[in-house]
C-alpha cells in the first residue's frame, strides 16, 4: 500500500500540461515531474492504494511492463519523500 506523506500539501503548477513544478512543503524541495506522477499523487491524496489498484484507477492494463513502470514511478516519488509505503490493511 502507498500513501502520501502525512502532512504533504501537494501543491503544483503546470503551464503546458506536460511538465509540472511540484512543491514539497515538508522538505522545502521543488521537483519537476510529469502528468503521470501528478495523477498518481492525486489518487493517493484520496486514499492509500496498492500498486495494482493504482493501475486500475489509471486505466492501465495489469501487465508486467505496466506494473514495472508504475513501480519505478512509485520508487521515484518515494525517493523524493512524497509518498511512503504502508502495511496492507
Taking only the tens place, the pLDDT of each residue in 39-84 is 999 999 999 999 999 999 999 988 999 999 999 999 999 999 999 9
Q: Which residues of 34-48 are buried (b: 16+ CB within 10 A; e: fewer)?
A: eeebbebbebbeeeb
What is the reported pLDDT for 88?
67
| Residues contacting 52, CB < 8 A, separation 6+ | 62, 67
For residue 41 the three cell numbers come to: 499523487
> Residue 89's pLDDT band (boundaries 50, 70, 90)?
low
Q: What kind of architecture, by CATH, is found in domain 2-85?
A: Alpha-Beta Complex (3.90)
Taking only the tens place, the pLDDT of each residue in 3-44 is 999 999 999 999 887 899 999 999 999 999 999 999 999 999
Q: Which residue carries 525517493 as its cell?
A: 79
Nearest to 9 by CA among 30, 27, 32, 25: 25
Amino acid at each position: 500500500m502507498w500513501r502520501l506523506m502525512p502532512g504533504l500539501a501537494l501543491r503544483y503548477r503546470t503551464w503546458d500540461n506536460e511538465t509540472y513544478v511540484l512543491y514539497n512543503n515538508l522538505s522545502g524541495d521543488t521537483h519537476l515531474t510529469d502528468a503521470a506522477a501528478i495523477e498518481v499523487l492525486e489518487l493517493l491524496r484520496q486514499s492509500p492504494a496498492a500498486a495494482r489498484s493504482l493501475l486500475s484507477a489509471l486505466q492501465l492494463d495489469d501487465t508486467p511492463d505496466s506494473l514495472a513502470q508504475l513501480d519505478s514511478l512509485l520508487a521515484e516519488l518515494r525517493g523524493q519523500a512524497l509518498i511512503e509505503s504502508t502495511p496492507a490493511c
